[in-house]
Structure 1
């Protein structure tokens, strides 16, 4: 989840673009647009969704591993193996 106002704004803007691309793709299918054009639109939509996923994953990683401002004691209290396993579980889910 993007936490800062700037991150939230970027995520919402990406979602609005995705929504617009999906609506345009729906219209193109209804109008009988040729397959080449549909494939280009689908690729653009997939790219936009992947971009959003990358931003959210970035936020998740920063939340999971903390920032450079954290104290050494706080970082040492965490189990790195558990954090890595949680991250890998998340990645496996979304990279299917």
Structure 2
């Protein structure tokens, strides 16, 4: 998974932000915050994890499935963009 190594610092930064959000949920529960506040915090984490997944999937597709240098003309670029748009939408 060379693409994850290349983007290692960005991915780690996202994970650290997600960890901070999860810590926020824990603090909210410990302080007996209201249900609405806790649900908003959980929704934020869910969105952050989905965004991380979308980024890794997109990099995977671009690196392993449509690498023009390795496989010139193997797949339709427009089809790739359509697939990635669907994945991004699904993971929101």
Answer whether TM exceeds 0.5 for this pair. yes
Separation in structure 2 between the aligned mates of residue 71 and residue 29 of structure 1, nearest angstrom: 51
Q: CA RMSD for the aligned pairs?
A: 2.3
Q: CA deviation at 1:37?
A: 0.6
Structure 1: gaps spanning 5 or more residues? 76-90
TM superposition score normalised by structure 1: 0.67
Aligned residues: 75
Q: CA deviation at 1:72?
A: 3.5
Deviations 1:14-41 (A, max 9, x none): 1000000001100100110001111110
Q: Please give the secondary structure, in 2, of the residue aligned with 1:3.
A: helix
Within 5 Å, give how 1:1-96 maps onto structure 2: 1=1, 2-4=4-6, 7-72=7-72, 75=74
Deviations 1:68-96 (A, max 9, x none): 233549x4xxxxxxxxxxxxxxx8xxx8x
Structure 2: gaps spanning 5 or more residues? 75-86
- Larger C-alpha radius of gyration, 1 or 2? 1
Separation in structure 1 between the aligned mates of residue 66 and residue 15 of structure 2, nearest angstrom: 26
